[in-house]
Structure 1
């Protein structure tokens, strides 16, 4: 179990590193959905950087898929049914994220070696919007996963119960941002606030759990499940 806990902590850490790099260091610098011409030009001129972002996202996806299995094994002794529910919704999240990444890969393909044009700009922005929509839906499923994981943490006798509370708060952050993005007409006006909510709650919840996994995994002491 210690090896599984250690591997889960490393996988979660990889998600944080690759996710922040791809999303904030790459996409935030290249993409402006309100300026299709500049966005397309950025990607054409910085195709290597965009490819690095794609690779980072796929590392994130692979780590996420691994966690479907490893977190199930860690939480399985706690409940009979809920670990399956948690795994199912993390799997749905990974599936939607994969579909979202297909859209980014299409952008990389259609812009490689191309010159900027209005037709290309329209296609690029359309694919970015699809990427964002698929990922948003996936994150709603991820929120349900975190709720289930928070419940399992609360019921377990080996995970700190304060972490269960933080995981549930993180889930609520994903719900608030995701539902607002999909259904709130004026979302763009308050986007920075919603993003701050999901980043703050997600970081404190998931990072706390990541630290717990790493500490338990690398600790010389054994723990009972």
Structure 2
């Protein structure tokens, strides 16, 4: 499929999605409305895939970010449809606002990348970036309990109509017939392209793992576990209301799920030379885990919705049951995560770049998650949590990747090589 055809398909999907969700959301509780909202989710995911295919060769970072953001948006909009019936309007609204936050954050770099590729006029790309930033800000305000209405969504919505019509007319093509902007991201030479790609993958994986550790720690241990242990008759020591704290935890954990996908495919690039088929399988295992984790998070969305709809901050049996559901589904997903770490450890063992001891610790971490997940499925009481010790392998991998990216930066290596060449020249 050519860029022009892919762009025209994406343009048609933009316009169809706008109509499908607009009409479907106006028909709550009706089968036709549910079908249209589900169709919108499929179209949103397809837009992300088409844009990713077109933009990835030139702007891989923006392409991956847009793909994951659109995938998260599609999932959350579909989840909101289910949550409206099972948990109430509050949960559906939280899912919708989280979807808009994902769309806004992922689309800002996408619009800037389109401008640098000359696929959009700069004024139109600027309009899109500003509109999506405003959309994200409005969604964040709504999630925080500040009512701002639909005004922040208007500029981004109008941009999507114009952008969709423009894509439908000419596809992904330079707006002025010129070449893409060569500044900043000029393609590396053939000799250094592989090193640059591996370095970028290591950096992305290391930074992603670091962000995940911070966000997951704050959300799970700082909020979810406290609420799970809370007494309905007594308040916790959280600085925010339970509902707001839980919403913030949901946003943080959804970000972790998105980062899981990005880290999975960054590790695939980094470890591909050790076994391409196994690296691909490992990436899909972690991607599958991220999907299961996102499904688990919908239980927390439902819990936050129950608190919002009930107008109370008490952790009652219904809220506690939703939190328990989150933990149960998450533990099932950790089976896939454990397999991913085992495969990653095997690839790292075969890789010439990764030390053997790092590979061994990663594999041990995977075995720990597998043991805990299988133990949770056994009817008898499982007395220990192995992963509370073996998780150190993940931390070691994160630190090693960050160190590798810092030491092997292509620009620094080129500078060293040039300096040595100058020193070797005769006076």
Encode CA deviations 1:109-130: one digit per residue, 9 max, x unaligned.
Answer: 1211525599x83432332222
- CA contact 1:93–1:141 (8 Å) conserved in 2: yes
Offset of residue 221 of structure 1:
5.7
Gaps of 5+ in 1: none
Offset of residue 64 of structure 1:
0.5
Offset of residue 10 of structure 1:
0.3
Please tell me whether residue 110 in structure 1 is matched to residue 306 in structure 2: yes
Within 5 A, what are the aligned runs for 1:1-225? Answer: 1-32=198-229, 37-38=232-233, 45-115=241-311, 121-187=316-382, 190=383, 193-194=384-385, 197-202=386-391, 204-220=392-408
How far apart in 2 are the matches of 1:30 and 1:123?
12
How far apart in 2 are the matches of 1:26 and 1:121?
16
Higher helix content, 1 or 2:
1
User: Higher RCO, 1 or 2 (CA under 8 Å, sep at least 6)?
Assistant: 1
Offset of residue 32 of structure 1:
2.3
- CA contact 2:289–2:337 (8 Å) conserved in 1: yes
Q: What SS does structure 2 have at the residue aligned with 1:10?
A: helix
How far apart in 1 are the matches of 2:313 and 2:280?
48
How far apart in 2 are the matches of 1:17 and 1:148?
24
Q: What SS does structure 2 have at the residue aligned with 1:159?
A: coil
Which is greater in Rg?
A: 2
Encode CA deviations 1:18-38: one digit per residue, 9 max, x unaligned.
Answer: 1111111111222128x5x35
Superposed CA RMSD in Å reads 2.5
Q: What SS does structure 2 have at the residue aligned with 1:206?
A: helix
Encode CA deviations 1:24-66: one digit per residue, 9 max, x unaligned.
Answer: 1111222128x5x359x76994222222211221121111111
How far apart in 1 are the matches of 2:338 and 2:319?
28
Encode CA deviations 1:99-152: one digit per residue, 9 max, x unaligned.
Answer: 00111111111211525599x834323322221121001111100000100000
How far apart in 2 are the matches of 1:73 and 1:220?
16
How far apart in 1 are the matches of 2:251 and 2:307?
17
How far apart in 2 are the matches of 1:62 and 1:26?
20
TM-score by length of 1: 0.85
- CA contact 1:32–1:38 (8 Å) conserved in 2: no
Ranges of 4+ aligned residues in structure 1 off by more than 4 Å: 41-44, 115-118, 220-223
What count of residue pairs does the alignment treat as equivalent? 212
